[in-house]
Amino acid sequence: MKEIKIESTLQVFESLDELPPEVYSLMQNAIKARKGAYSPYSKFSVGAAILLDNNKIITGNNQENASFPSGLCAERTAIYYAGSQFPDSKIRIIAICAGSLKVPTTTPIPPCGACRQAIAEYEIKQKSPVEIYFKGELGHIAKSNSLENLLPFMFDKSVL
């Protein structure tokens, strides 16, 4: 028997002002996108903004449904739009802003497992890392240098 240890490293920014200028602006897009979320059931709204290597910004937000599993997270709404409209562009950065509509959310909210799997697909496809910045409504911002860092032992096409 041997033990395998996997470590992930995140960076933490104390406030929006600490972010690199292009990320500050991308996060403003995510904050704005969050306002368009349709989340009457969970009352938890999420906005995502994607910066492509052609400098286009794609945004998305969570869209819920009375049939709960039919809804979609903000990150996948945005990434599938990016993938469908700009199939030859690489995703450089994703900024995410998420929080409850009932109580202030003060910790960074990372993408859910299904969204991590979706982002992983594009990271593998484009052969370059996707930087992910995520925040709550208030408080600090966390950054992962790649999706792989958020999803160790990921399932990928190498086994198909």
Min dist. Cβ of residue 39 to ligand THU (A) = 5
Catalytically annotated residue among 3, 18, 22, 75: 75
Is 75 annotated as catalytic? yes
User: Which residues inside 84-113 make contact with ligand THU, applying CB under 6 A?
Assistant: 111-112
Nearer to ligand THU by Cβ, of 21 and 119: the residue is 119
User: Which residues inside 26-85 make contact with ligand THU, applying CB under 6 A?
Assistant: 39, 42, 44, 46, 62, 64, 71, 73-75
Min dist. Cβ of residue 112 to ligand THU (A) = 4
SS3 for the chain is CCCCCCCCCCEEECCHHHCCHHHHHHHHHHHHHHCCCECCCCCEEEEEEEEECCCCEEEEECECCCCHHHCECHHHHHHHHHHHHCCCCCEEEEEEEEEECCCCCCCCCCCCHHHHHHHHHHHHHHCCCCEEEEECCCCCEEEECCCHHHCCCCCCHHHC
Residues with catalytic roles: 75
